[in-house]
């Protein structure tokens, strides 16, 4: 579904991604872990099409198409979803109008008629329940004045509304209380279909207790330095990143 090969990207002339290769097949759940500043969010942003980072090398294909040639909205309509680490507040743009526009743009792309107001409200209601988001939040402007946890739930709510093929969730677990973590994780699991995929970026095993990954990667200094099964996450939880750092240093990779 998603094939990234030798992707390099720089922000303000500083190389952040230094050759990332990764393949996510339909139906798989991948976890990306790695120390702060290693480039996880940058990778997510590059995939979603944020032009802050300049791509210097490499390719990204999504469902067989060259992702890097598409605008961010085209990528979204192809079924790519990014749950932001820091969702931005957009005063004055109501959640309702925002979601309606997004859903209908996607329908238009698929050749479907726009949803009627009542159908739209019905779906909104269902999805709100699914992710346990407070009804009142959707009456406000996008993320405006939301608490940290509310913003994260709102991301999952939007994912539920848009039903993506590939969702990249950047630290969606941070800022959530224990109940919310479970609700959000359940939401992700319920939304997951046999042929949709998820990439979760996280620092903690506790999310992976709920969303069980098929593959775990470690991103370190702009490269994927280790790929293994779910046991890798447990090992990291236990030992931190120091041992990886040492191994890399001895192997002379960095």
Partner 1 sequence: MNVHNDCRERYHKLYEKNIEKIKAKSSPYVNACREPAFEKFMQLGIPTTKNENYRYTDLSHFFNYDYKNYFLPGREDFLKAEQFRCNVPDLDTHGIILLNGFYPTLTDKLRELPGGIMVGSLNEAAKTFGDKIAQHYNRFINGDSDGLVHLNTAMAFDGIFVYVPSGVKLQKPVQVVNLVDSDNDIFNQHRNLIIVEKNADLTLIICDHTLSPQKFLTNAVTEVYVGEDSHFDIIRVQNEHNNAAKITHTFIHQEKNSTASSNNITLHGGLVRNSTHHFLGGEGAECSAYGLYLSDKFQHIDNYINVNHAFPNCRSNQLFKGVLDDMAKGVFNGRIYVMKDAQGTVAYQKNNSILLTDDAVMDTKPQLEIYADDVKCSHGATIGQLDEDALFYLQSRGIDRREAQLMLMFAFAHEVIQNINVEALRERMDSLVMQRLRGELSRCANCMVKCG
Summarize as ranges the residues that interact with partner 1 (CB under 8 A): 48-50, 71-73, 75-77, 81-82, 84, 87-88, 90-93, 97-98, 101-102, 105-106, 109, 141-142, 158, 162
To the nearest 10°, the Cα dihedral for 36, 39, 43, 44? 20
DSSP 69: G
CB 47 within 8 A of CB 67: yes
Query: CB 227 → partner 1: shortest distance, Å?
Result: 26
Q: Which residues bind to Mg ion, rule: CB under 5 A? A: 40-41, 85
Query: CB 159 → ligand ATP: shortest distance, Å?
Result: 19
Q: What angle do CA 96, 101, 107 make, to 5 degrees?
A: 125
CB nearer to Mg ion: give 40 or 127.
40
Query: CB 32 → ligand ATP: shortest distance, Å?
Result: 9
Pick one of Mg ion, partner 1, ligand ATP, none as the site partner of residue 220 (Cβ within 5 to 8 A by kind): none
Q: Report DSSP letters for 97-150, one per residue.
A: HHHHHHHHHHHHHTTPPPPPHHHHHHHHHHHHHHHT--GGGGGSEETTT--HHH
Query: CB 41 → partner 1: shortest distance, Å?
Result: 13
CB nearer to partner 1: give 49 or 187.
49
Q: Which residues bind to ligand ATP, rule: CB under 6 A? A: 11-12, 16, 34, 36-42, 52, 85
Contacts of 125 (CB under 8 A, 6+ apart): none
Pick one of Mg ion, partner 1, ligand ATP, none as the site partner of residue 38 (Cβ within 5 to 8 A by kind): ligand ATP
CB nearer to partner 1: give 67 or 224.
67
Pick one of Mg ion, ligand ATP, partner 1, none as the site partner of residue 36 (Cβ within 5 to 8 A by kind): ligand ATP
Q: If you count DSSP H runs as helices and E runs as strands, how many of each does the chain have, helices first?
A: 9, 12
> In the block, which residue shows the tokens 């720089």?
10
Scanning the chain, the segments in alpha helix (DSSP H) are 40-48, 72-77, 95-109, 117-131, 148-162, 178-191, 205-210, 231-239, 242-251
CB nearer to ligand ATP: give 37 or 240.
37
CB nearer to ligand ATP: give 16 or 211.
16
């Amino acid at each position: 579904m998603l094939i990234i090969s030798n992707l390099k990207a720089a922000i303000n002339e500083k190389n952040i991604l230094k050759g990332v290769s990764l393949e996510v097949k339909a139906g798989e759940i991948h976890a990306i872990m790695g120390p702060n500043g290693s480039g996880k969010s940058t990778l997510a942003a590059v995939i979603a099409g944020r032009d802050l980072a300049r791509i210097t090398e490499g390719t990204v294909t999504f469902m067989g198409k060259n992702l890097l040639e598409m605008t961010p909205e085209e990528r979204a309509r192809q079924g790519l979803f990014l749950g932001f680490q820091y969702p931005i507040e957009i005063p004055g743009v109501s959640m309702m109008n925002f979601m309606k526009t997004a859903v209908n743009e996607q329908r238009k792309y698929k050749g479907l008629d726009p949803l009627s107001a009542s159908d739209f409200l019905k779906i909104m209601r269902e999805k709100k329940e699914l992710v346990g988001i407070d009804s009142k939040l959707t009456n406000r402007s996008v993320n405006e004045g939301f608490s940290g946890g509310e913003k994260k739930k709102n991301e999952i709510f939007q994912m539920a509304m848009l039903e993506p093929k590939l969702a990249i969730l950047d630290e969606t677990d941070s800022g959530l209380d224990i109940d919310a973590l479970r609700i959000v994780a359940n939401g992700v699991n319920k939304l997951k279909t046999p042929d949709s995929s998820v990439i979760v970026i996280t620092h903690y095993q506790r999310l992976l207790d709920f969303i069980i990954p098929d593959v775990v990667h470690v991103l370190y200094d702009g490269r994927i330095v280790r790929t293994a099964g779910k046991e890798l996450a447990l090992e990291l939880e236990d030992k931190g990143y120091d041992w990886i750092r040492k191994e890399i240093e001895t192997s002379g990779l960095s």
